[in-house]
Chain A
Amino acid sequence: MASKYRFYILVAILAFTGISLTIYKNKVLHFPLFTDKTIPVWTVESHISFQPTDKDVEVSLAIPGNQNNLAIAKETQISGKEYEFTIVENVPHREHRRAIWKASGVEGKQDILYRASVYDVSQSELEFYKADVPDVSVEFNEEQLVAVNEIVKSINVDPKKDEVAFIDALLDVISEPKLQSKVTLLLGSKPTKTKRLELAQLILATLDIKSVLAKGFELDKSKKKQKLTAVLCVGDGDKWRFFTLGSDSHKLPPRFLFWQRGGNSLLDVTGGKDVKISISVLKENKLAGAFAVDTASDKKSMLVNFSIYSLPISQQSTFKKLLMVPLGALIVVLLRNLVGISTSGTFMPILIAMAFLETNVLPGIVIFLLIVSSGLAVRSYLTRLNLLLIPRISAVLIVVVFIMAFLSVLSNKLGLRQGLTITFFPMIVLSWTIERLCVLWEEQGAKEVFVRGGGSLLVAVVAYSVMSNGTARHMMFAFPELMLTVLAIVLLLGRYSGYRLSELIRFKAFDEGGSDNV
């Protein structure tokens, strides 16, 4: 009894492991569950160039981090080998990240590339918004302070009552093309948009309204040369409003990637001149499964490191087929032990089904029937030659190869391209099948040959229809741990002692007279 429980526990563990790993990979590592859909992935790249003026050079670049609808993965950088590269995350204000390159003794024009992949994530994913907003140190002199007060007074909105309206009005004042004198005092005559928003941030700080100045761009409007738009983010950690000059929406455009959030500058280069920076975006569609592996391998997940995606592409396609074999085996078990179809050779139908995957099912059946029937014809002649078993099978094998070559050439001449896929049929298994069927024919007659041969073909077609199913293929490939679940099912079926469907017909005779004799 104990061993029986142990068996069911084993089965349960196997099934549970397979299913839970699958769910984990789907929910946490974002392996797509049913189909390997393509997802858009943006490669963002910033190119920095400068002339070193000093012995020691330090480049500090603000770089994007994860945000509520977009995530960053696969960060790479290209720079001279003299450079030492680090990424600084400004904890606890995680939203501000900087890439820092340090080198000494570099000469000539320097080029540094920073590259990262950006992809969509669901809103619930990241909670960066909850980050504390850093205080901004206000450094107005007295004269400037008077001007600030005047600006605030000139706005007829109480910032305590209606913050949004106040900020809108403030931005209007600051963004006027012809600036008021008190604003010019603070900004100079031809300020940039960033400078104007910086001023707005400082004025708000005097009123105890916290804000973060960020810069970014819309991914969907990707251009070769990307211009950063400054955005003033005002909020308390739970809810944010976004203010840009020349827009009243208070919301971000879709897929707006913050390149820089907080911090004083986009790029600082110490010990260099003629500094130039350009940012570009390239949109691509990638297979979600493969991209999940790419992004997750950064996380050093065991599941990913040992997944089949980590194999070279050529091996992957081999495995795509191999991983369908367990499903084929499951079908064979189901059809033989539950339905009771008799086949010739236990797993021959799986091999035939795998050949069907290459040839498609109808041409496959035609080729199979052609090979087996012509093989049977030749084999029945060999019967008369009194050959030993191994030479006889070998002779059948040679004949099978010959038939395959002949059918291939013939169909090619006839312009049927399907004929060329004939090579995918397992010749050795076919030879044995022919041998067995022929012996069966001699001993038990043609009827049994059709029953077994037809049974094999039927099982092969059913196995094919499962093995060729796109969803099944994707699931077995992306989640090979499902094999454990298949194994659990097969183990369970191994203990099945109920009736087979065919036996309900076989024992039909009991239906009429049976009751009298019991």
Chain B
Amino acid sequence: MFDFIKPSRLRELGIVGMNERNVRYIMENNPRKFFPVVDDKLKTKIAAQKHKIAVPQLYSVVREQSQVRKLKDILAPYSEFVIKPANGSQGKGILVIVGKDGDRYVKPNGEKLSLLDLQRHVSNTLSGLYSLGGENDNAMVEALVHFTDAFKNFTYQGVPDIRLIVYKGYPIMAMMRLATSESDGKANLHQGAVGVGINLGDGRAVGAVMHNVTCLAHPDTGAKLSELVVPHWDEQVLLASRCYEVTSLGYLGADIVIDKELGPLILELNARPGLSIQIANQEGLAHRRAKIDAHMAQNPNETPEQRVAFSKKAFARG
């Protein structure tokens, strides 16, 4: 019924499975006490700003149900914004509004929501529907990123973002996540976004997957994914690498978006980055990790710039 790949072959390729990720990557490198900084996006934003790391502007925070009634006033100054649960996971509960049509708020796919819909969404967020443990949460209202035109042909609505995994401060692997009509404009591979492996050396695409299957062109735009080049690449890799100092997490996922005017921005950080990045890159994490560990044994306490230089050299392809 199923066609299996041999475990020995996967090990040879250095592919990391969920169990290995949990035991060897997350538990060994990410002490529990550092989790709140990344799990709570509000805290992430504050910590990132403290370290002068570029993030999308925070408009407002809704902390209590009583504020839900005032949502109209809170949102009044903005015609476009994103509502996010501070403790959401896997892109749950993120609502993007790209414009207003009278009293109604327009989603990227053109769907129009009433104020009541938005209030319900915020209310759900506050009561913890989207948070990891179902606990009470805060809803953040932040600026909508005007994403660069560089990916215009490669995305269907939404914000295409770059996911960089940083291992002990060294960028270890990168991919780009492209929204599709199936993913409802969200850059989440679970929901059907396309994952494109990115060459750490120069920001060029090395391969792409959708639903864990290799794909060559974007399903909506038809653009050839092999032609994708990420602009501001050096800046982005450095940005991600510096997040290690912000969070102290040894296995960290940094989600970066590129704003037309502001350049690369850290959208969020993740203490449990997923493993699809390996499929997008057609390469496993384990061998790269071994290289970094060996390098660190020789060169401890490197600066972010030195770390980036090593990663770009060691993991460049083609």
Contact = CB atoms under 8 A, between A and B. Distances in A.
Interface of A: 337, 340, 386, 388-390, 439, 443-445, 495-501, 503-511, 513-515, 517-518
Nearest to B182: A445
A510 B5 CA distance: 8
Contact of A496 (B4, B14, B19): B19
A499 B7 contact: yes
A444 B22 CA distance: 24
Interface string B92-122: 1000000000000000000000001001100
A518 B213 CA distance: 19
B4 A499 contact: no
Interface residues of B, number: 44
Given A497-B19, A497-B22, A514-B9, 7 more contacts: A386-B116, A443-B92, A499-B17, A500-B17, A507-B5, A507-B278, A508-B4
Interface string B1-15: 011111101110111
B18 interface: yes
A386 B283 contact: no
Contacts of A497: 17, 19-20, 22-24
A126 B191 CA distance: 72
Given A386-B119, A505-B3, A510 B19 contact: no
Most chain A CB within a 10 A radius of its CB, from B24, B212, B282:
B282
A503 to B, nearest CB: 5
Contact of B4 (A386, A439, A444, A505): A505
Contact of A511 (B5, B14, B128, B207): B5
B214 A499 contact: no
A496 B5 contact: no
Interface in B70-97: 92
20 contacts: A386-B123, A388-B65, A388-B124, A389-B134, A439-B129, A499-B11, A499-B20, A500-B19, A503-B15, A504-B7, A505-B5, A507-B5, A509-B282, A510-B279, A511-B5, A511-B9, A514-B9, A515-B13, A517-B206, A517-B283
B23 A388 contact: no
A445 B211 CA distance: 14
Given A386-B123, A509-B212, A514-B282, A444 B19 contact: no
Given A496-B23, A497-B20, A507 B127 contact: no
Nearest to A516: B282
A389 B19 contact: no
Contact of A510 (B15, B119, B123): B15
Nearest to B117: A386
Contacts of B9: 510-511, 514
Nearest to B3: A508
A499 B108 CA distance: 38
Contacts of B209: 509
B190 interface: yes
A504 B19 CA distance: 13
Main SS of chain A's interface residues? helix
Contacts of B23: 495-497
Nearest to B120: A386
A471 B297 CA distance: 54
B124 A509 contact: no
B50 to A, nearest CB: 32
B128 A517 contact: no
A449 B317 CA distance: 39
A94 to B, nearest CB: 60
A508 B2 CA distance: 10
A389 B136 CA distance: 10
A389 B128 contact: yes
B3 A510 contact: no
A498 B282 contact: no
Contacts of A515: 13
Contacts of B4: 501, 504-505, 508
B19 to A, nearest CB: 5
A377 B209 CA distance: 34
Interface in B110-157: 116, 119-120, 123-124, 127-129, 134
Contacts of B24: 497
Most chain A CB within a 10 A radius of its CB, from B18, B23, B128:
B18
B13 to A, nearest CB: 5
Interface string B29-68: 0000000000000000000000000000000000001000
Contacts of B213: 509
Nearest to B130: A439
Contacts of B19: 337, 496-500
Contacts of A518: 13-14, 283, 287
Most chain B CB within a 10 A radius of its CB, from A388, A439, A513:
A388
A390 B134 CA distance: 10
B239 to A, nearest CB: 26
A510 B282 contact: yes
A444 B207 CA distance: 25
Interface string B239-257: 0000000000000000000
Nearest to B127: A389
A510 B213 CA distance: 10
Contacts of B317: 517
A515 B14 CA distance: 11
A503 B18 contact: yes
A507 B15 contact: yes
A443 B23 CA distance: 29
Nearest 6 pairs between A and B by C-beta?
A: A389-B127, A497-B20, A386-B120, A499-B17, A497-B23, A504-B4
A508 B6 CA distance: 9
Contacts of A514: 9, 13, 282
A507 B317 CA distance: 21
B127 A388 contact: yes
Nearest to A498: B19
A514 to B, nearest CB: 5
A500 B18 contact: yes
Nearest to B23: A497
Interface string B164-206: 0000000000000000000000000011000000000000001
B2 A505 contact: yes
A498 B5 contact: no
Contacts of B282: 509-510, 513-514, 517
B45 to A, nearest CB: 23
Contacts of B124: 388-389
A498 B8 CA distance: 10
Contacts of B5: 504-505, 507-508, 510-511
B130 to A, nearest CB: 8
A507 B17 CA distance: 9
A210 to B, nearest CB: 72
Contacts of A445: 191
